Amino acid sequence: MNSTTEEAPALPETRRVPVPVEGRNPGTGKRQGKAGKAPSQSFRNRLRRDKQMLLMMVPGVVFLLLFFYIPILGNVIAFQDYQPYLGIGDSLYVGWQNFVDLFGNPDFIQAFRNTLYLAAWQLVFLFPVPLILALIVDSLISTRVRQVFQSIAYLPHFLSWVLVIAFFQQMLGGAGFINNTLRDFGLDPIPFMTNPDTFPLLVVVQMIWKDAGWAMIIFLAALASIDASLYEAAAADGAGRWRRMWHITLPGLRPVIVLLLILRIGDILSVGFEQFILQRDAVGAGAAEVLDTFTYYTGVIGGGWSSGAAAGLAKGIVGALLIYGANKLAHRFGEDGIFAKQAR
Given a contact cutoff of 8 angstroms between Cβ atoms, the answer to whether 152 and 234 are in contact is no
101 occurs within a structural domain: yes
Evaluate whether residue 39 is within a structural domain. no
Q: Report if residue 147 sits inside a domain.
A: yes
User: What is the Cα Rg of the chain in Å?
Assistant: 32
Least Cα distance to 40 among 28, 49, 53 occurs for 49
Q: Does 304 map to a domain?
A: yes
- Residue count of the chain, please give it: 344
**Per-state percent for the chain, helix, strand, coil, to nearest 5:** 65, 0, 30
Return all residues near 104 (Cβ < 8 A) that are at least 6 apart.
none
Closest listed residue to residue 123, CA positions, set 216, 196, 208:
208
In our burial notation (b when 16+ CB lie closer than 10 A, e otherwise), range 98-119 reads bbeebeebeebebbbebbeebb
pLDDT of residue 333: 67
At 1 the pLDDT is 47
Instruction: Please report whether residue 55 resides in a domain.
Output: no
Residue 117, pLDDT score: 92
CATH number reported for the structural domain that contains residue 180 in this entry:
1.10.3720.10
pLDDT by residue for the chain (344 residues), tens only, comes to 444 444 555 555 555 555 555 555 555 555 554 554 545 578 888 888 888 998 999 999 999 999 989 988 888 999 999 988 888 888 899 999 999 999 999 999 999 999 999 999 988 888 899 999 998 888 876 788 888 888 888 899 999 999 999 999 999 998 899 999 999 999 999 999 999 999 999 999 999 999 998 889 889 989 988 888 888 898 888 888 888 888 888 888 888 888 888 888 888 888 889 999 999 999 988 899 999 999 999 988 988 899 999 999 999 898 888 888 888 887 776 666 666 665 55
Surface-to-core class of residue 97, CB atoms within 10 Å of its CB (0-12 exposed, 13-18 middle, 19+ buried): middle
* Opening angle at CA 280, ends 80 and 128, nearest 5: 100
The range of the structural domain enclosing residue 263 comes to 95-332
What does the pLDDT read at residue 25? Answer: 55
Check residue 118 and give its pLDDT: 92
Which pLDDT score, from 0 to 100, does residue 185 have? 92
Q: Does 112 map to a domain? A: yes
Q: Into how many domains does the chain fold?
A: 1
Q: What is the pLDDT of residue 51?
A: 87
Residue 2 resides in a domain: no
Residue 104 lies in a domain: yes
Task: Write down the pLDDT at residue 184.
Answer: 92
